[in-house]
A and B are shown apart, each in its own frame.
Chain A
Amino acid sequence: MKRYLSITRDPLDEAGLVADRTLSSGMGAAVYFSGVVRGQEGADAIVALDYSCFVPMAEHQFQRLFDRLAQRGSVESVRLVHRIGRVPVGESSLWIEVVSAHRAEAFAACQWVIDEMKQVVPIWKKPVTAADACLPSDSNPAS
């Protein structure tokens, strides 16, 4: 199974990611999901989310998830990009694509990776309101 992982502070280039897609002739499904920062966190209006990340562990845990995904045997490739740092409302913080032969497998695998990520990958988010938007982005010195 081919895999691509990026944890980046840069805005996600979704058009570029889609343009870079490769799939073999036996593949009939390419499912991708883009997670976008909402303008509301609970009852509060926000302008951004500050994502912090323990990068070496996050990369390791993502690769372990990809290893488990590969064991399912039905996925040809997975590509995942997670943005960290300050992500404004309306911009994407997560992009994931799964390629497989059939759509059911691709949808299920995409959902599975996201669900598992939210259990084990050390990334955290902190809401940013308009009042504190001018403060520097919060991140751990070691991230």
Chain B
Amino acid sequence: MTIPVTFWSYFAELAGCSETVVTVSEPTTVDGLLAALYQAHPALAELRRSTLIAVGVEYQDGGYVLKPGDHVSLFPPVQGG
């Protein structure tokens, strides 16, 4: 299963790209995807405690089980206003 991942705000600079695709086996949780992602983008791993995770347009935690068609977004704390 391939999961597209988008990095927002300065996470894109840390990752060196704004989007990537991660191939994971089924079933895989968000935590499983992050483990694979952090190997490819170690700079993001350092910020894991403050990282916000969304699947589609909803916030999810690491235990969320990914489904085909899911789109994951990773970003730092929000700063609107």
- For residue B59, CB closer than 8 A to chain A, the reply is yes
Q: Which of A94-124 contact B (CB under 8 A)?
A: 94, 114, 117-124
Q: Is the CB–CB distance between A94 and B81 below 8 Å?
A: yes
Chain B interface size, as a band, is: 20 to 34
Q: Is the CB–CB distance between A60 and B78 below 8 Å?
A: no
Q: Is the CB–CB distance between B54 and A57 below 8 Å?
A: yes
Q: Contacts of A121 on B, CB cut-off 8 Å?
A: 78, 80
Chain A interface size, as a band, is: 20 to 34
Partner pick for B9 among A82, A118, A124, CB 8 A cutoff: A124
Please encode chain B, from 7 to 39, with 1 for each CB lying within 8 Å of some chain A CB and 0 for all others: 011101000001100000000000000000000
Q: Is the CB–CB distance between A52 and B57 below 8 Å?
A: no
Please list the residues of chain A having a beta carbon within 8 angstroms of any beta carbon in chain B: 35, 51-52, 54, 56-58, 60-61, 82, 93-94, 114, 117-126, 140-142
